[in-house]
């Protein structure tokens, strides 16, 4: 069953009924026992002895209450330290967000931090929620075979987060006995078999927390344990804080990534833009035994395509060429849209291989029709201005030769 989120009441701990009973009942019980013992020893009331006895009982009760109080303060302090650790963890993730190659890598780092922050957690996963269809996909896992999890075909309504919260998915839920939950699962037999085989050890208890971004359910963070009742009130509250901070971190990562994409990539072609290309050229590693070569590529007939068929057809022509350049070079070489109908690439040799790759791109474009290009190529030895001027002249020579 879901545990009420005490964080929403702006408190991290509370006295339950049993604790109140102990704090109130134990001193009274001790008083009654001592009083009964005293009167069994002497039938004559003695005011001094009674006073001493009451004082002893009071001191004992006070010491007991002090012990309980200090114990609670110690636990709260430990809880606070863990909260600070969670905040430092998410702060660290936000600061280095731009170092992750994609969102999946960022979620992997987030999940590893979550598993290490919660004492009872041995395994875990992050499940993405498709906003339109409600389909679930496992994006990250620790201690669980992610390849097996990706074979599952499940939707949000089949998740225990959805079932326990009656579709609200708005609070952290703790499952102390997974066997009881799985017994009423609507998953197919094959999917249940995958869930049993995927973890390194059998999952006995789970803590699940929804992650909302911009008011929409983005994902669910699951922390798992091989022990029954592995997660406490503190763990549940700590994960509530963690997922709240995680939502902020993911949202900031997405915005940072979007800004980075707009700043470094051409929006039409997906290639590097001129600014990013020129920055990366400064970091280019020269390999004398292979050689480096600078290429400048210019579409021959973009203006004609725009005038006769419209700018959408011109954009499609640019995208066709950029897709071939990206497929051929983008992973290992530098390729960018340099501006307008010009593309530029910096590649490691040998020269023969580069010429063969250019020929392959030309043939692929001929099969698609309409699009052709002129190019210049020059060896690059680290002298940017000199090489660019030479390759620009070579490209225009190639274009004039085609016209003539």
Note the pLDDT of residue 94: 64
**Residues 246, 335: one domain?**
no
256 and 364 within one domain: no
Assess if residue 404 is contained within a domain. no
Domain assignment of residue 187, yes or no:
yes
One domain for residues 69 and 30: yes
Confidence of residue 393 (pLDDT cuts 50, 70, 90): very high
pLDDT higher than threshold 50 for residue 1 = no
334 pLDDT higher than 70: yes
With respect to residue 326, please indicate whether it lies within any of the assigned structural domains. yes
What's residue 93's pLDDT?
Answer: 67
162 within some domain: yes
Q: What is the extent of the structural domain holding 349?
A: 274-399
Residues 119-132 have a mean pLDDT of: 90
Is the pLDDT at 7 greater than 60? The verdict is: no
Confidence of residue 4 (pLDDT cuts 50, 70, 90): very low
| 121 lies in the same domain as 235 | yes
pLDDT at 272 over 80: yes
Q: Are residues 73 and 214 in the same domain?
A: yes
Given a cut of 50, whether residue 195 has pLDDT beyond it is yes
**Least confident interval from 6-15, 137-146, 172-181, 328-337:** 6-15
CATH code for the domain in which residue 42 is found: 3.30.450.40
The pLDDT score that the predictor gives to residue 256 is: 80
My answer on whether 121 and 164 are in the same domain is yes
pLDDT of residue 134: 86
- What is the rounded average pLDDT of the residues 375-382? 94
Choose the weakest-confidence range: 2-6, 103-107, 360-364.
2-6
Answer yes or no: do 145 and 292 share one domain: no
Q: What average pLDDT does this structure show over 161-182?
A: 82
Is 186 a member of any domain?
Answer: yes
Domain closes at, from 241, 264, 287: 264
| pTM (predicted TM-score) | 0.60
Residue-level pLDDT at 215:
86
Count up the domains in the chain and report the number.
2
Q: Do 64 and 177 fall within a single domain? A: yes
Same-domain status, 217 and 319: no
Last residue of a domain, one of 206, 229, 264: 264
Instruction: Give a yes or no: residue 269 inside a domain.
Output: no
Shared domain for 99 and 212, answered yes or no, is yes
pLDDT at 249: 79
Residue 110 sits in the same domain as residue 224: yes
Average pLDDT in the chain = 82
CATH of the domain at 361: 3.30.70.270
- The domain boundary, picked from 202, 234, 264, lies at 264
pLDDT of residue 2: 42
Q: What span, in angstroms and rounded, lies between the C-alpha atoms of 102 and 257?
A: 8
Residues contacting residue 329 through CB under 8 Å, at least 6 positions apart: 335, 345, 347, 357
Task: Give yes or no: residues 237 and 142 share one domain.
Answer: yes
| CA atoms of 38 and 239, how far apart (whole Å) | 52
């Amino acid at each position: 069953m879901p545990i009420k989120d005490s964080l929403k009441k702006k408190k991290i701990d509370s006295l339950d009924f049993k604790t109140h009973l102990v704090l109130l009942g134990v001193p009274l019980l001790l008083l009654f026992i001592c009083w009964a013992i005293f009167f069994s020893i002497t039938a004559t009331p003695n005011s001094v002895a009674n006073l001493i006895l009451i004082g002893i009982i009071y001191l004992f009760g006070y010491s007991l209450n002090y012990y309980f109080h200090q114990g609670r303060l110690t636990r709260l302090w430990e809880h606070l330290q863990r909260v600070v650790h969670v905040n430092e963890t998410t702060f660290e993730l936000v600061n280095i967000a731009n170092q992750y190659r994609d969102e999946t890598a960022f979620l992997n780092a987030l999940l590893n931090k979550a598993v290490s922050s919660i004492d009872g957690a041995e395994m875990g996963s992050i499940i993405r929620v498709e906003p339109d269809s409600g389909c679930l996909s496992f994006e990250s896992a620790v201690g669980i075979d992610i390849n097996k999890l990706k074979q599952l075909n499940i939707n949000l309504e089949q998740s225990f987060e959805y079932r326990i919260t009656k579709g609200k998915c708005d609070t952290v839920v703790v499952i102390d006995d997974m066997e009881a939950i799985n017994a009423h699962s609507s998953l197919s037999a094959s999917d249940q078999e995958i869930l049993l085989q995927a973890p390194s050890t059998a999952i006995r208890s789970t803590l699940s927390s929804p992650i909302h971004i911009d008011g929409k359910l983005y994902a669910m963070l699951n922390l798992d344990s091989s022990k029954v009742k592995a997660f406490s009130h503190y763990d549940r509250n700590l994960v509530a804080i963690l997922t709240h901070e995680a939502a902020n971190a993911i949202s900031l990562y997405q915005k940072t990534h979007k800004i980075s994409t707009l700043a470094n990539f051409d929006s039409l072609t997906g290639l590097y833009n001129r600014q990013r290309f020129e920055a990366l050229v400064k970091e280019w590693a020269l390999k004398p035994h292979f050689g480096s070569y600078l290429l400048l590529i210019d579409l021959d007939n973009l203006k004609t395509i725009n005038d006769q068929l419209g700018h959408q057809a011109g954009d499609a022509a640019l995208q066709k060429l950029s897709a071939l350049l990206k497929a051929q070079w983008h992973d290992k070489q530098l390729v960018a849209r340099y501006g307008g109908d010009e593309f530029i690439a910096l590649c490691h040799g040998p020269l023969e291989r580069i010429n063969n790759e250019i020929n392959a791109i030309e043939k692929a474009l001929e099969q698609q029709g309409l699009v052709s290009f002129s190019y210049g190529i020059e060896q690059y030895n680290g002298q940017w201005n000199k090489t660019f001027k030479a390759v620009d002249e070579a490209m225009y020579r190639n274009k004039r030769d085609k016209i003539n």
